[in-house]
């Protein structure tokens, strides 16, 4: 049986000569940061914010529209970041295959959150753009996220919050440069 695992998980990435060795203190700090990132990622993959929002707002009223799936909101975030994307570009931004991005786009288009328009520079391409309803939904999502972060850090000093904002932004920029990924945090 062949493992299609990432080199990071199989150990081959650790054997490369171009990966710098960490110093013991830096290694311990890097391990602590990596554990925190894994815990944060796990909470996101468990849709912690979506569950919290549902818990705080309760079930939708009869006849009210339900919230779109998380994947659709992630697509809207990606479109917002770029101002417009093709489905193929959206797939790359989301880290999903093109058929999955197509299904998410179809859901967002059907819900009136995105619209398609012809690319002015290449008529063969179709671009996805936010609609007013898509913008309004993202505004509510962003406000909720900011509220959760504000609540989480409410007992922190202003200096600690400023340090986290500065260092986390720097970490994301540096991580993006090392990994070649490219989405801004929202």
pTM: 0.72
Mean pLDDT value across the chain: 83
Domain count, the chain: 1
Least confident of 62-76, 111-125, 127-141, 142-156: 62-76
Given this model, what pLDDT does residue 7 score?
47
Distance between CA atoms of residues 34 and 66, nearest Å: 35
32 Cβ contact list (under 8 Å, min separation 6): none
| 35 located within any domain | no
Give the pLDDT of residue 4: 41
Within a domain: 60: no
Answer yes or no: is 86 within a domain: yes
User: Parallel, antiparallel, or unpaired for β 126-130 and 114-118?
Assistant: antiparallel
- Contact status, residue 115 vs residue 131, Cβ threshold 8 Å: yes
Asked if residue 38 belongs to a domain, the reply is: no
Q: In the prediction, which pLDDT does 171 show?
A: 92
pLDDT at 1: 40
Residue 186: pLDDT band by 50, 70, 90 thresholds? very low
Instruction: State how far the alpha carbon of 155 is from the alpha carbons of 144, 152, 175, in Å.
Output: 18, 8, 28
DSSP 14: G
For residue 155, tell me if it sits in a domain.
Answer: yes
Residue 148 phi, psi (nearest 5): -65, -45
pLDDT tens per residue across span 5-33: 444 444 445 555 565 665 777 888 899 99
Report pLDDT digits (tens) over 78-128.
999 999 999 999 999 998 999 999 999 999 999 999 999 998 888 789 999
Check residue 70 and give its pLDDT: 85
Is 90 within the bounds of a domain?
yes
The answer to the question of residue 28 being in a domain is no
Question: CATH number for the domain including 139?
Answer: 1.10.10.10
Instruction: State the pLDDT at residue 61.
Output: 53
Establish if 152 belongs to a structural domain: yes
Looking at residue 3, what is its pLDDT? 43
Provide the residue range defining the domain that includes 165.
68-179
More confident residue, 10 or 173: 173
């Amino acid at each position: 049986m062949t493992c299609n695992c990432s080199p990071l998980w199989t150990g081959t990435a650790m054997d490369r000569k171009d990966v710098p060795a960490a110093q013991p203190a830096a290694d311990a700090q890097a391990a602590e940061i990596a554990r925190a990132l894994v815990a944060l990622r796990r909470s996101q993959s468990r849709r912690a914010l979506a569950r919290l929002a549902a818990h705080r707002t309760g079930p939708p009223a009869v006849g009210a529209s339900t919230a779109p799936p998380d994947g659709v909101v992630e697509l809207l975030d990606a479109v917002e970041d770029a101002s417009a994307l093709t489905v193929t570009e959206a797939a790359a931004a989301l880290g999903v295959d093109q058929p999955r991005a197509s299904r998410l786009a179809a859901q967002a288009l059907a819900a009136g959150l995105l619209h398609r328009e012809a690319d002015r520079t290449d008529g063969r391409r179709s671009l996805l753009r936010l609609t007013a309803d898509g913008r309004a939904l993202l505004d509510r999502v962003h406000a909720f996220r900011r509220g959760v972060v504000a609540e989480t850090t409410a007992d922190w000093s202003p200096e600690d919050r400023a340090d986290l904002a500065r260092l986390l932004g720097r970490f994301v920029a540096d991580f993006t440069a090392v990994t070649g990924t490219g989405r801004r945090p929202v």
